[in-house]
Amino acid sequence: MNKKLIAEFLGTFWLVFGGCGSAVLAASFPDLNIGLLGVSLAFGLTVLTMAYAVGHISGGHFNPAVSIGLWVAGKFNAAELPGYIIAQLVGAVAAAGVLYLIATGSPNFDTTGAFASNGYGDNSPGKYTMISAFLIEAVMTFFFLIIILGATSEKAPAGFAPIAIGLALTLIHLVTIPVTRTSVNPARSFGQAVIHGGWALGQLWLFWVAPIVGAAIAGVVHKALKN
C-alpha cells in the first residue's frame, strides 16, 4: 500500500507540475507560442508518461474523481480510497508549492494572476457562468472515466491504455481551458487553490463536486454497459 501511495503522490505531482507549469511558466512568454495547444499537450503527456512509469504500481489514478469513478464501477476497493485521495492531494499541493517558488524567482511573475487556478464567472478565461463551468466539468469527467474504464478493460488491446487516456486529457483541455482552465481533477484544482488562495479557494467546491458527479455517473454507466 505504501508503494501505491508513493506512486499516486509522484504521478499527481508530475501532472500538476508539468501541466500547470506549462501554463504558468511557458505560456506566459508569447514568443514561445505554446498557447492553448501546448498546455493541453502538457497535461496529456504528464498522464501518459506517469501511467507508463508507475501505473503498474498503483493503477495510475492521479485524480480523486478517477479513484471514485473506478470504485463506483466496481474496479477499485473502497478501503483504499482515503489513502489514494490524500496522496493525490499532497502531491498536488507539493507540486503547486514548488511551482510557485520557481515562478516567483522571476521579477516578471504576476502575483495577482490566476496561477492556473480553476474558476468560473469573472475568474473564467471566457467569463463563463457557474452553470456552464459545472456542466462542462461534469460532462468531460464523465467521458474521461468512460475512456479510462474502456481502455483499461481486459478486452482492450494491452499496453495502449496510457496513450488513449493521455490523448483524452489533451482533447479535454483543448475544449475546456477557455471555460474553467480545465480541472476534471479535484486534486489539480486543490493544489493551485491552496497556493493561490482568495477566489480560487472560494470557487474550489465546483471543481470537487462536478468532476465527482461526472465520474460517478460514468461508473454506473460502465457497469450497465458491461451487464
Q: What gap in Å lies between CA 127 and CA 78, rounded to an integer? A: 38
pLDDT surpassing 80 at residue 31: no
- The CATH number, out of the four listed (3.40.50.1000, 1.20.1080.10, 2.70.70.10, 3.30.930.10), of the domain defined by the range 2-226: 1.20.1080.10
Q: How many CB atoms lie within 10 A of CB 2?
A: 8
Mention every residue, 6+ apart, whose C-beta is less than 8 A from residue 21. 42, 99, 102
Grid coordinates representing 205 are 467546491
Of the listed ranges 24-28, 58-62, 88-92, the least confidently predicted one is: 24-28
- Flag whether pLDDT at 110 surpasses 90: no
Q: Residue 31 carries which DSSP code?
A: T
198-208 pLDDT per residue, tens = 999 999 999 99
CB-hemisphere CA count at 13 Å for 63? 29
pLDDT digits 0-9 by tens, 141-177: 999 999 999 999 988 888 899 999 999 999 999 999 9
pLDDT of res. 227: 67
Residue 157 is classified by DSSP as: P
Nearest to 167, CA basis, from 26, 22, 36, 47: 47
Statement: residue 74 has pLDDT above 90: yes
Ordered by start, the domain boundaries in the chain are 2-226
- C-alpha distances (whole Å) from 46 to each of 54, 93, 221 are 12, 16, 27
Measured between its terminal Cα atoms, the distance across the chain in Å is 31
**Chain position carrying cell 499516486:** 8
Q: Which three cell numbers stand for residue 177?
A: 481551458
